[in-house]
Structure 1
Amino acid sequence: MKRVFFSLLFLLLTGAVALAWTFSPALLDPAPLQAMELPRATPPAGMSLSALPTGSMKSRAALAYRGGRFSDEREFAMTAILVRHPRGDLLFDTGFGRRLEQHLAMQPALMRATATFSKGTPAAEQLAAHGFDPARLAGVVITHAHWDHVSGLDSLPGVPVWVTAAESDFIAGGGDMTSVARSLDRLELKPYRFADRPYLGFTQSLDIWGDGSIVLVPAAGHTPGSVIAFITLPSGARYALLGDLVWQAEGIDLPAERPWLARTLVDVDAQAVRANIAHVAAIHRRFPQIRMLPAHDARAMAALPVFPAAAQ
Structure 2
Amino acid sequence: MTTIKIHVLHTGLVKVDAGLPFHDKFRNPLAYTGILRSHVNQVTLPVSSYLIEHPKGLVLIDTGWNELVRQSQWRELGLQTQINKAYLPAGWSVREQLQQLGYQPSDIDYLMLSHLHSDHASGLPLVKDAQHILTSTPEWNTAQHDRLRYIPKMWRGVDVQTFDFDHTDLGPFHRSFDLFGDGSMQFIYVPGHSHGLAATLIQGHQGEQVLLASDTGYAQESIDHLYTPGIVVNRTQALESVAWIQQKASEPQVIETLTNHDPAIRPHTITLA
TM-score interval, normalised by the smaller of the two chains: 0.7 to 0.9
Partner of 1:77: 46
Q: Distance in 2 between matches of 1:116 and 1:163?
A: 23
Q: Distance in 2 between matches of 1:299 and 1:178?
A: 27
- The 3 A distance-change label for structure 1 pair 303 and 124 is closer
Is 1:298 aligned to residue 254 of structure 2? no
Q: CA RMSD in A?
A: 2.6
Q: Distance in 1 between matches of 2:66 and 2:81?
A: 20
- The 3 A distance-change label for structure 1 pair 173 and 60 is closer
Q: Distance in 2 between matches of 1:90 and 1:107?
A: 32
Query: Could you give the per-residue CA deviations for residues 45-80 of structure 1, whole angstroms, max 9, x where no partner exists?
Result: 142110222221244545422338x97864411121
Moved more, 234-243 or 275-284: 234-243
Q: 1:137 aligns with which of 99, 108, 115?
A: 108
Partner of 1:29: none
How far does residue 248 in structure 1 lie from its aligned partner after superposition?
1.6
Moved more, 182-191 or 219-228: 182-191
Is 1:51 aligned to residue 8 of structure 2? yes
How far does residue 240 in structure 1 lie from its aligned partner after superposition?
1.3
SS of residue paired to 1:128: helix
| Pairs within 5 Å for 1:125-204 | 125-159=96-130, 160-179=132-151, 181-199=152-170, 202-204=173-175
Q: Contact (CA 8 Å) 1:46, 1:85: kept in 2 or not?
A: yes
Query: Could you give the per-residue CA deviations for residues 169-197 of structure 1, whole angstroms, max 9, x where no partner exists?
Result: 12211213211x43434211111122222
Moved more, 230-239 or 187-196: 230-239
SS of residue paired to 2:271: coil
- Scaled by the length of structure 1, what TM-score is found? 0.72
Unaligned runs of 5+ in 2: 27-37
Q: Distance in 2 between matches of 1:172 and 1:63?
A: 24
Q: Distance in 2 between matches of 1:109 and 1:45?
A: 43
Q: 2:21 aligns with which of 64, 67, 79?
A: 64
- Counterpart AA for 2:14: M
Q: Contact (CA 8 Å) 2:134, 2:163: kept in 1 or not?
A: yes
Q: Contact (CA 8 Å) 1:59, 1:74: kept in 2 or not?
A: yes
How far does residue 232 in structure 1 lie from its aligned partner after superposition?
1.9
Q: Contact (CA 8 Å) 2:209, 2:253: kept in 1 or not?
A: no
- Scaled by the length of structure 2, what TM-score is found? 0.82
Query: Could you give the per-residue CA deviations for residues 72-96 of structure 1, whole angstroms, max 9, x where no partner exists?
Result: 8644111210011121111011111
Partner of 1:5: none
- The 3 A distance-change label for structure 1 pair 92 and 202 is same
Partner of 2:236: 271
How far does residue 125 in structure 1 lie from its aligned partner after superposition?
2.0
Greater helix content: 1
- Counterpart AA for 1:296: H
SS of residue paired to 2:268: coil
Q: 2:58 aligns with which of 89, 100, 104?
A: 89
Q: 1:215 aligns with which of 180, 186, 199?
A: 186
Query: Could you give the per-residue CA deviations for residues 220-269 of structure 1, whole angstroms, max 9, x where no partner exists?
Result: 121111111001235654221111111121111122223xxx2xxx2111
Q: 2:68 aligns with which of 99, 112, 125?
A: 99
| Identical columns (%) | 20
Partner of 1:7: none
Which structure: larger Rg?
1
Q: Contact (CA 8 Å) 1:172, 1:182: kept in 2 or not?
A: no
Q: Contact (CA 8 Å) 1:229, 1:242: kept in 2 or not?
A: yes
Q: Contact (CA 8 Å) 1:229, 1:240: kept in 2 or not?
A: yes
SS of residue paired to 1:296: coil
